[in-house]
C-alpha cells in the first residue's frame, strides 16, 4: 500500500491506497508545536483504527504547506514505517504544465489536486478547495494549469467576524432554512453559507468568461466544501479523496 499525507494549515489528511483503491482516509488537527514522536503515535493509532499494519506500506508521499512541520512529519513516517517519504517539491515529476508567473509559488496541495482532477474528470475543469483558504483553480482542455483565485477561508472569516464583533457569537457552518434571517445565528449562517455559495457560483461564471472552452467539470474538495456546494446553483462534484488521489498518482510517476 501507498501512504499519502496532505499537511494543511488546519488539518492533516492521511490516506492509504492499494493500487487505485482508497483503503482509508483519516484526519488529524495540525499542531505546529507537536513533536515527531507524537505524530508517530498518531499515525500508529490511525493504522490500528483502520486495521492495517505499518509493515503493509511500500511507499509514502507527502504534500506539505506547513514548512515548520516537515521534519516532524517526515521523521514520524520513517519511525513507524521505516520508509523515507517522497515530498512534493523541486525535482518531483508531476506531469503538470503550470502556466503562471512563478510556478515555484504553487502550493503542493494545489498541485496534487490539479493532477488528480486531470486524471479523473473531463476537461476543462475547475477545482474548488474550501479549507483554511478558499481556492478555485482552472485547468484547460489540454490539462494546463491556467491560474487560480485565493480568498479567505470560510471558517477563518467567520472566526474573525466573531472575534471582532462583540455581539456576534461563534456558530456552526450550516445552512439556515431561509436566506433572509430572523435572528442573529440564522443571519450569520445565511451570510456564511449562502454568501460563500453565491461567491462560488459567480466566480465560476467569471472563470468561464475568461476560458476559451466550455467548462466540463466542477469538482470540490476540502473540509468545508460539502456544506457549501450543496447550496450552490452550479452542479459541483464533491471528491473527498481528490488531493490524496493526486499524491498517489504523483508517487507512481516518480517511484523507482
Residues 189-217: pLDDT tens digits? 999 999 999 999 999 999 999 998 999 99
Cα gap 146→103, rounded to integer Å: 11
Cα gap 86→60, rounded to integer Å: 6
- The set of cell numbers assigned to 244 is 490524496
- Averaged pLDDT score across all residues of the chain: 95
- Residues in Cβ contact with 17 at an 8 Å cutoff, skipping those fewer than 6 apart: 1, 2, 4, 23, 244, 245, 248
Domain ranges of the chain: 2-87, 97-246
Cα gap 247→60, rounded to integer Å: 9
- Residues in Cβ contact with 79 at an 8 Å cutoff, skipping those fewer than 6 apart: 36, 37, 40
Catalytic residue among 109, 129, 239, 245: 109
What share of residues in the chain are helix, strand, coil (percent, to 5)? 40, 25, 35
Q: How buried is 221 (Cβ within 10 angstroms: 0-12 exposed, 13-18 middle, 19+ buried)?
A: buried
Cα gap 243→120, rounded to integer Å: 12
pLDDT of 39 > 80? The answer is yes
Q: Are 57 and 249 in contact (CB under 8 A)?
A: no
pLDDT of residue 90: 87
Higher pLDDT, 109 or 255: 109
Q: Do domains 2-87 and 97-246 have the same CATH topology?
A: yes
- The set of cell numbers assigned to 122 is 473531463
Active-site residue 239, yes or no?
no
* Residue in the structure block whose three cell numbers are 490524496: 244
Cα gap 84→61, rounded to integer Å: 9
Cα gap 30→96, rounded to integer Å: 28
Cα gap 21→43, rounded to integer Å: 20
The DSSP-derived string for 5-21 is EEE-SSEEEEEEEETTE
Cα gap 158→196, rounded to integer Å: 11
pLDDT of 256 > 80? The answer is no
- Structurally, at CATH architecture level, domain 97-246 sits in 2-Layer Sandwich (3.30)
- Residues in Cβ contact with 201 at an 8 Å cutoff, skipping those fewer than 6 apart: 232, 233, 234
Question: What CATH class does 2-87 carry?
Answer: alpha beta
6-38 residue pLDDT tens: 999 999 999 999 999 999 999 999 999 999 999
Share of the chain above pLDDT 90, in %: 93
Q: Are 61 and 38 in contact (CB under 8 A)?
A: no
pLDDT of residue 151: 96
Amino acid at each position: 500500500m501507498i501512504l499519502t499525507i496532505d499537511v494543511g494549515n488546519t488539518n492533516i489528511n492521511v490516506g492509504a491506497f492499494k493500487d487505485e483503491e482508497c483503503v482509508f482516509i483519516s484526519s488529524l488537527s495540525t499542531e505546529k508545536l507537536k513533536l515527531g514522536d507524537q505524530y508517530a503515535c498518531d499515525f500508529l493509532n490511525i493504522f490500528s483504527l483502520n486495521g492495517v499494519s505499518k509493515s503493509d506500506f511500500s511507499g509514502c508521499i507527502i504534500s506539505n504547506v506547513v514548512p515548520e512541520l516537515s521534519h516532524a512529519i517526515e521523521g514520524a513516517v520513517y519511525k513507524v514505517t521505516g520508509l523515507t517519504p517522497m515530498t512534493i517539491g523541486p525535482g518531483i515529476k508531476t506531469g503538470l504544465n503550470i502556466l503562471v508567473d512563478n510556478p515555484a509559488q504553487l502550493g503542493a496541495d494545489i498541485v496534487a489536486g490539479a493532477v488528480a482532477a486531470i486524471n479523473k474528470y473531463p476537461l476543462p475543469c475547475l477545482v474548488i478547495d474550501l479549507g483554511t483558504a478558499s481556492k478555485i483553480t482552472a485547468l484547460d482542455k489540454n490539462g494546463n494549469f491556467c491560474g487560480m483565485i485565493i480568498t479567505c477561508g470560510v471558517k477563518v472569516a467567520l472566526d474573525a467576524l466573531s472575534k471582532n464583533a462583540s455581539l456576534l457569537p461563534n456558530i456552526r457552518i450550516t445552512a439556515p432554512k431561509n436566506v433572509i434571517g430572523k435572528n442573529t445565528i440564522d443571519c450569520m449562517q445565511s451570510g456564511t453559507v449562502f454568501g460563500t455559495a453565491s461567491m462560488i457560483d459567480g466566480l465560476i461564471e467569471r472563470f468561464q468568461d475568461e476560458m476559451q472552452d466550455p467548462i466540463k467539470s466542477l469538482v470540490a474538495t476540502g473540509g468545508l466544501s460539502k456544506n457549501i456546494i450543496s447550496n450552490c446553483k452550479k452542479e459541483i462534484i464533491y471528491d473527498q479523496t481528490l488531493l490524496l488521489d493526486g499524491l498517489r498518482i504523483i508517487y507512481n510517476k516518480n517511484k523507482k
